[in-house]
Amino acid sequence: MRNLIIKLHIYAGLLTFTQLMIFGVAGLVATVQTAAERPKNPHTVRHQTFRPPPGASDKEVADLVYRELHLPLTRPMPDFAIKRNASNDLQLDFYNINGIYRVVVLERDGMLSIEEIRNSLPIFLNDMHAITTGDPEAPRPLRIWAFYNEVAMWFLLAFVVSGVYLWLSAQARTWWAWGSLACGVLGFAALWMSFR
């Protein structure tokens, strides 16, 4: 039985390693970062010819742009995000895990201006750790990552429980190990009370 628990402990730890690294780095960055300011300078800018149908609403144009460009890891533009810039041109910010595709519909010129604004590594990791299975419209790679996160959380629980079992079933028990367990339980209790 103990050998089976040891294997479960090892494999659960390996499965959650990537998740814990990303969550840990995102947490450390959030601790030292003064503001979660997203980059504003475009990495690349390109133009593409585009003429919206006459009389089309902003939402219809946004949907048409989305279907025509097929920007990776983006989703259709929700109504609340559709806006016009200072020049009264339709500006569509397609957010994705890597940053923003800012598309400006230049109706007078009959073209689209497409700016790719890339996230910094800390913001990318922060976005990665915030992905959940509660977003059915997310692109498939993000849904897979969200599913992995959910499974890894259960394996993290198995990792912790099996680790406590292995420690309690071992002969060598030290005072600092008991102290660490007490701190962990108190920390969990504090989190539980704060979320309630």
Q: Where are the domains of the chain?
A: 2-36+129-195, 44-118
Q: Please give the pLDDT value at position 115.
A: 94
End-to-end CA distance of the chain: 37
Looking at residue 39, the DSSP 8-state letter turns out to be P
> Residues 108-153: pLDDT tens digits?
888 999 999 998 877 787 777 778 788 777 888 888 888 888 888 8
For 119, the 3-state DSSP assignment is coil
CA distance 101 to 120: 15
Q: Listing from the earlier edge strand, what are the strands of the sheet with 44-49?
A: 44-49, 111-118, 99-106, 90-96, 83-84
> Residues 58-71: pLDDT tens digits?
999 999 999 999 89
Phi/psi of residue 55, nearest 5 degrees: 80, 5
52 pLDDT higher than 80 = yes
> Residues 150-184: pLDDT tens digits?
888 888 888 888 888 887 777 666 777 778 778 87
188 pLDDT higher than 90 = no
Q: Please give the pLDDT value at position 36.
A: 60
For 157, the 3-state DSSP assignment is helix
> Residues 65-114: pLDDT tens digits?
999 998 988 888 888 889 999 899 999 999 888 889 999 999 888 899 99
